[in-house]
Every structure is written in structure tokens, then in C-alpha cells.
Amino acid sequence: GGLPAALEHVDTSMSLAGNIKELFLEPEGRVRTLVERTIIQEYSRLGSVFSLLTILGNGKRTYRELREKLDPRNTGNLSKLLKKLIDNETVVCLHPINRPDERKTTFYAISDNLLRFYFTYVHPNRSRIQQLGVDAVYEEFVQPSLPTYLSYRFGDTARSYFSRAVRAGLMKGIRDVGTYWYDGRERHRSWEFDCAVAYSDGYG
């Protein structure tokens, strides 16, 4: 996702850790520099955009959660910022396919994988990288959470797979692809399935 040129810098002869350290964590890392010079500069005039993207990171948040952190006085600035980021496809607004119009189940997430990784691991740790060094930051703040980071992205991959299969005519009868919200009222707990498909007679 993001800048296709970033993929050209990946060294397949190196380990995952080596690529992350060299390309993202090093202050002069090629991909880090690419992000900061070509993308971040575009957002510098958008107020609290860096705080918003850092909060989103590898996850997703409801509008209420974002407002509590960034706009507790409800000035309307958050709505304007989100609209701009959605318009330029930096942020995506996600609706479960079975609750498309329900605000409490509407989530916001970073749509670009390159920016997602940057705001999950690099931007929040810039001062730590200076103070502790690349190796220490990788071992303490990156490596332990990589399995979780990748598991969140698997849902995106699964949804993309079904969408591509439908467009290619390999799967029939599917009316929608997305997430699914389950309201377990009897257990006083609700949760979301990361990937679901809608058929005429239900969901799978």
C-alpha cells in the first residue's frame, strides 16, 4: 500500500528484523525518509493529524473514542479532519455489512499499509530511537507486537481475497463483503468478526 517505490528498497536477502531496522527505524532509513518527505509534509498543515493517525495506528476507533481524545469540547474540528483524510484516502470509514447505518459500530482506520506501519512503530518512538538506539526500540516496542500487528492485517487480506474472487467470477451469490457485528446481549458482550460475506439468505 501507499508508495509502490517503498517495495523496491526491501532486501529479500535480509531478515524481517533487518529490513525494519534499516528501512524504517534508522533516522535516515530509505522508507522512513520517503514517508516523511513525500507524505507527512502534505499533512503538516492539518492540525492534529499526527495525533489522530498515531491513535489509529494498527487498530481502529469509533468517532466517540477519537473525539474524547482529540476534541472533547466537540468543536467540529475532528469531523473536518476526518473528512479530509477520507477524501484523500488516508483514512477509511468502516461499517459492518449487517449494521451499515449504525453509528456506534462505525469505525475509522488508516487505509494505507505504509502509513499504518509508520504511525504504529516509527512516529510514536522517534524520541526513543534517538535516546535508546534502533536495536533497543525494535526489541522492546516492535518485535513483541508484530504477531498482533500481522493478525489485524489478515482480516484485510481475507476481505480482499473474497472481493477479488467475486470480481473475477470465481464466486457466485455474494452480495457484500466486509466485517460483521454480533450483538451478544445475553452475555452482555458484543464483538466484530473481521471477515464476513453476505448472501441472499444470510451471512457466512
Reported as a single tens digit per residue, the pLDDT across 95-154 is 899 888 888 888 999 988 888 999 999 999 999 999 999 999 999 999 999 999 988 888
pLDDT band at residue 187, thresholds of 50, 70 and 90? low
**108 near 66, Cβ under 8 Å?**
yes
- CA angle centred on 158, ends 21 and 83, rounded to 5°: 75
- Give the integer Cα–Cα distance in Å for 197 and 175: 7
Q: What is the mean pLDDT of residues 170-183?
A: 90
Q: How many helices (H) and strands (E) does the chain have?
A: 10, 6
pLDDT of residue 188: 64
Q: Which helix (H) or strand (E) holds 80?
A: helix 77-87
pLDDT of residue 74: 79
- Give the integer Cα–Cα distance in Å for 79 and 73: 13
Reported as a single tens digit per residue, the pLDDT across 31-88 is 999 888 877 777 777 778 888 999 999 888 989 999 998 888 878 888 889 998 999 8
pLDDT band at residue 191, thresholds of 50, 70 and 90? confident
Q: Which amino acid is at 176?
A: D
